[in-house]
Amino acid sequence: MFASAAFSAPTKRQLGAYQQVHVTTGVDGASPHRLVQMLFEGLLDSFAQARGAMRQGHIEAKGEAIGRAVRIIEEGLRAGLNVEEGGQLAADLRDLYAYVIVRLTYANRHNDEAAITECVGLIEPLSKAWAEIGHKAAA
């Protein structure tokens, strides 16, 4: 299956990113697939927190939420890619994650909610597809 080829087994660094998602239960016994799903959930939650903080003018909270999102991408999602086995799919995901980080940096620097909305639009379909793969595999 393409999804398993694109990702390698989680490392200690990635496990730290999973914990950054503030998920304290289920990480130890979760499958690699579920761990990636948790990262997507945490990433989307961080986007929502950043947007809310931006709307309320809470600059520090916005920065923390965007920083958490970047760590989830760098230390979790991007670090888990296996470009050698995952081929073009993994390379495309790597490039997408790099782009999302650039847009998040822009959003943080310019207080641009539209940039965060763009990131949601890029990540949400991946999150939904990843969850669907899990449902199909379980069935």
Domain boundaries, the chain: 2-138
Fold of the domain spanning 2-138: Four Helix Bundle (Hemerythrin (Met), subunit A) (1.20.120)
Residue 24 exposure: Cα atoms within 13 Å on the Cβ side: 0
Kindly tell me if the per-residue pLDDT of 137 is higher than 90. no
Calpha distance 4→19 (Å, rounded): 22
Mean pLDDT of 85-105: 96
Residue type, 9: A
pLDDT grade, residue 2 (50/70/90)? very low
The structure's pTM equals 0.80
Kindly tell me if the per-residue pLDDT of 3 is higher than 60. no
Q: For residue 52, what are its two tokens?
A: 């809310």
Calpha distance 139→137 (Å, rounded): 6
Mean pLDDT of 30-58: 94
Q: What is the pLDDT of residue 101?
A: 98
Q: What is the pLDDT of residue 74?
A: 96
Residue 79 exposure: Cα atoms within 13 Å on the Cβ side: 18
pLDDT 10s digits, 11-30: 656 656 655 554 455 666 77
Q: For residue 33, what are its two tokens?
A: 């697939």
For tokens 């670090």, the residue is 79
